[in-house]
Chains A and B, each alone.
Chain A
Amino acid sequence: MTMTMNPKSTARVAAALALAVVIPAIFWIAQGAVAGLITAGWGWLTVLVFYFGRRRSEAVQIVSGVGDERIRSLNVRALAVAGFVMWAVVTAWWLVSAATGDENDSVGILAATFGVSYIAAAIYLGRRGG
């Protein structure tokens, strides 16, 4: 199977590796060595599954976003579906918390971040033309 590594794919792998180092480090500092090591184990296991699993499973390859133009296209569409679900959940959560008088600042910030970044992306992509 052909594996195309374009700059965006390389950046994605680099980001995953960075997270697999940074997240355990934070857990180590905040909760101690055991929590850090457990988090590191899960983190590196996830990285290994995505790195080696994409050669065996197309679903894993789509999630990794590393592959040819069809894989990258499916990765974007899968992200759009997940983004839509996240938008629906966060908006519903925010509305329920507002309606019950227990307004949750974190959910409000998440909803606002989604809305602003969505509009900003639409403006940027529209101006870029595609």
Chain B
Amino acid sequence: MNNRVREARAAKGISQAALGEALGVSRQTINAIETGRYMPSLPLAFALARFFEIGIEGLFEPEKGDLK
């Protein structure tokens, strides 16, 4: 699963810690999502999309093989 969380966060000019604080998760979790090491739950993915005011499809994009 590819995501554009890092780009969206950079565009908003906030830190990983601030984003984590706003969503109730740790800075490490935001980092793990951005680097693709952790796939967030659906509620957290929607919370990220709402935070950045973009559709969830604009934030997360499945890779070939993700949808079987």
Contact = CB atoms under 8 A, between A and B. Distances in A.
A71 interface: yes
B27 interface: yes
A8 to B, nearest CB: 15
Given A2-B20, A2-B21, A69 B28 contact: no
Contact of B24 (A4, A58, A73): A4
Q: Give the size category of A's interface with B.
A: 10 to 19
Nearest to A3: B26
A1 interface: yes
Interface string A1-36: 110100000000000000000000000000000000
Nearest to A1: B26
B5 to A, nearest CB: 14
Interface in B23-42: 24-29, 32, 38, 40-41
Given A1-B26, A71-B29, 15 more contacts: A1-B28, A2-B20, A2-B21, A2-B24, A4-B24, A4-B25, A58-B28, A68-B24, A68-B29, A70-B25, A70-B26, A70-B28, A70-B32, A71-B26, A73-B38
